[in-house]
Amino acid sequence: MRLIDVHQRFSTELQCIEHLVNMRWPHGVRCIACNSDWVQRYDSHGKTGKFRRVYQCSDCGKQFTAQSNTLFHDSHLPLQKWFMAIALMCESKKGMSANQLARSLGVTYKTAWYLAHRIREAMTDGKGNMLSGIIEIDETYVGGKRKGVYAGKKAKTPVIGMRERGGDLKLRKVPYATSEVVKDLMTEHVSKDARVIMTDDSVIYPYAMKGTGLKHRTVTHSKGEYARYTKSGTIHTNTVESAFSLLKRGIIGTYHQLSPKHMQRYLHEFEWRFNRRKEQSTMHDMVMRNLAKKKELPYKELTAGVPAW
């Protein structure tokens, strides 16, 4: 759904609320506390004039709205702006910064930043499908210089990419790009029936492949080899590297820099959008369903803690 479609289809707050209600409860509204279907509806306008649709359970007395216990929870932003933000983030191939989102929606930077991260949370598939067939695996390093660090990989955050040719992409931030880490990721995301694993000639991959029972083919990047043609097919890692290129164009041109603390959410966003690049018309509703399914993400929880690898 394009931005213009969102504007035409959801021109009022009531239309947005009704769409969210129908998406969350397709068979009728049920209490979020006791799951009763004996629910009464109240429409009102608050002191600011904002329209509200409140439901009250006749069994347990719980009051709730369509936004309660979802990623929309405790948001004072009109649903129209939520829907527009979702469309903007789905349409933006290289992502959209919080500053740009703030300018487009007419909200503060803090509101746009929090809004964007909750939408990214809805773009998380969890484990998703296992990769099979021909799989390319490579590592890249994201970031730049940090205080007290001269230069090179030590100043950057390693990211492992796994892409099935003609299939899905997985991007994972890791503490270190080692054979043990790669092996763990393969166990989690690569099917035991995969046809072959293709990598460059980095020393981490032969050790990662040990005991997996999977075929392993390499290209020797250190000698300037980027593709090798054989009877069984072309050996290269160009498709996963093209995904890295898109990610880095987004970082350089849109975000400029990412903190390691929140990087995995950005990786999930790129991965989620990349894997659905042929489903543009339904992408908006997919994000909406996930926003309605997932539990709330309080601002303190989002900003607290240490980087999660």
Give how far the C-alpha of residue 121 lies from the chain's centroid of Cα atoms, to the nearest Å.
Answer: 6
Percent pLDDT > 70 in the chain is 93
pLDDT reading at 150 higher than 60: no
> What is residue 107's predicted lDDT score, i.e. its pLDDT?
96
What the block records as the tokens of 134 is 């021909």
> What is residue 127's predicted lDDT score, i.e. its pLDDT?
54
Statement: the pTM of the whole predicted model exceeds 0.85: yes
Higher pLDDT, 74 or 72: 72
Summarize pLDDT for 26-54 with one digit per residue, the tens: 999 999 999 999 999 999 887 777 788 99
Higher pLDDT, 200 or 124: 200
Range with lowest mean pLDDT among 110-119, 121-130, 175-184: 121-130
pLDDT reading at 58 higher than 90: yes
pLDDT reading at 163 higher than 50: yes
pLDDT reading at 246 higher than 90: yes
The arithmetic mean of pLDDT across residues 70-91, rounded, is 93
What the block records as the tokens of 12 is 């009022």
> What is residue 170's predicted lDDT score, i.e. its pLDDT?
96
Query: pLDDT band for position 305 (50/70/90)?
Result: low
Q: Does domain 134-268 have CATH number 3.30.420?
A: yes
The arithmetic mean of pLDDT across residues 89-101, rounded, is 93
Q: Rounded CA gap, 141 and 173, in Å?
A: 9
pLDDT reading at 146 higher than 70: no
Query: pLDDT band for position 145 (50/70/90)?
Result: low
The arithmetic mean of pLDDT across residues 247-275, rounded, is 92
> What is residue 136's predicted lDDT score, i.e. its pLDDT?
97
Phi, psi values for residue 76, rounded to 5°:
-90, 0
pLDDT reading at 133 higher than 60: yes
- The 10 Å CB-count burial string (b at 16+, else e) for 280-309 is eeebbebbbebbbebebbeeeebeeeeeee
The arithmetic mean of pLDDT across residues 163-183, rounded, is 94
CATH 3.30.420 range(s) for the chain read: 134-268
- Using CB atoms within 10 A of its CB, is residue 41 exposed (0-12), middle (13-18) or buried (19+)? exposed
Summarize pLDDT for 180-217 with one digit per residue, the tens: 999 999 999 999 999 999 999 999 999 999 999 999 99
pLDDT reading at 65 higher than 50: yes
> What is residue 309's predicted lDDT score, i.e. its pLDDT?
46
The arithmetic mean of pLDDT across residues 88-102, rounded, is 93
